[in-house]
Structure 1
């Protein structure tokens, strides 16, 4: 089954949330931002967050002015992270219906868990009867895979999460073990396993062609990414191709679900874990075959399923 999802150019017309669009005075923009994203601050904290927000909005507006002149292939937008510095929330860790809706990891460095559940959910639906998409528990991985080298909300690695599932006899469903965005005690229940795997496959490091073949023939793959950049944080639309997003500083994980081309520019379709209000409805298009942008093919992997009878 093919996992090729097409994003049309209409996605580039997503509305932006800037003062010159809303027509609101700067102070009112700040108040609207807090209401829109449920932010509540008082006193000096409000002043501090307001200053960070203003600096980020300035960065976003400047980038988009340059994009209007053809200097960038992607646009930025204000989102829930606009009142935070990137270092406040990034912690180091490295459609055929087979990819679930986009979830929000919250203030927990668990993208590695979302990448693993996404890859496992997809392959479970593709290869295991009754071929239905079953949402799997990120919280199960956050709480229970520490013995395999992960650190819950303080970060983790995709392959170590696979190792936990293999040796544990499966991973619970999301319905039985819902996400909490915090560390908690392990509550794995073998009676509510949603999927199991017998191994995992690491793709050749830095080989985008090999990754393209796997995505085309076998479905989504979990990948490591360099994401500790304002341009990534505030990505809104277009093909992301920041030269500062290098292959050598991986600090995030996500799920490659497909690939395509817009105006001659090739891209990967990447499902992130920042929620549907981020990027292209929760996805980002990252430049493909352009110097391994963001290290997208450095640590790509997928699980081998052990289908339940």
Structure 2
């Protein structure tokens, strides 16, 4: 069963709404990953000044360069009644990709195609498969974001995440993030590349503006993003470490990557015992779950386990 979360208002307000709606799943994910669940009863600003996450390194860069998403994260932690640093830690650790990225790194495909010709008939469509979570792992949710400033959007994300993984906004821009791949060791100073998805959805109504933003924001990871807009324009942004490679184009695009279900987790992975393979949750036979995005129609569609969910921004 899919959970739908509606978030509206200023960034903190949207985080408060998500934390309240997904509280059980968020707390379960922290317990599963051995992160602290109990929130301190004594408010303090020490974490921002000298804490191990917000006070230095990648956490400080997250708060510095992605202030709206940082405020959203604070709100989410508040109503989920969990430590801010635990939620921030979940966001930062996925930069390593591979098995450390959990569901965000599972094998998935991303497809873009342009149909029609120049003019009113030309349109771009995006698609991403949605792998099944391992046993006990938080699964996908649907979210509608209605920010006080910026574009409204419908998205697929995880209960604890402030950024979307795939979504389309009312301006006619769609963005899909591919799976996180293994990153080189020693990278720990930049924000997660996944934050680019939400930034683009909230700020831009076309591919051109979003590409300029993606090229300049200080993030790191090993991940590809596919963007499309209502005019039929498509583009790919490839993040490798802190480097970016951007390619514009149209026609057919197919990307596939990530960890296969049941792969053994790496040594030192805090999520599970490295000696045991991840146990996959039961899945239905047939086609994998997937999300479809139509920027021209401003629609998102989920096809999962024999059901179809259709959300539009022009209804």
Place the TM-score, normalised by the shorter chain, in its bin: under 0.3
Q: Please, what TM-score do these two structures have when normalized by structure 2?
A: 0.27
Instruction: Identify which of structures 1 and 2 has the higher relative contact order when contacts are C-alpha pairs closer than 8 Å and 6+ apart.
Output: 1
More helix by share: 1
Q: Please, what TM-score do these two structures have when normalized by structure 1?
A: 0.27
More strand by share: 2
Larger Rg: 1
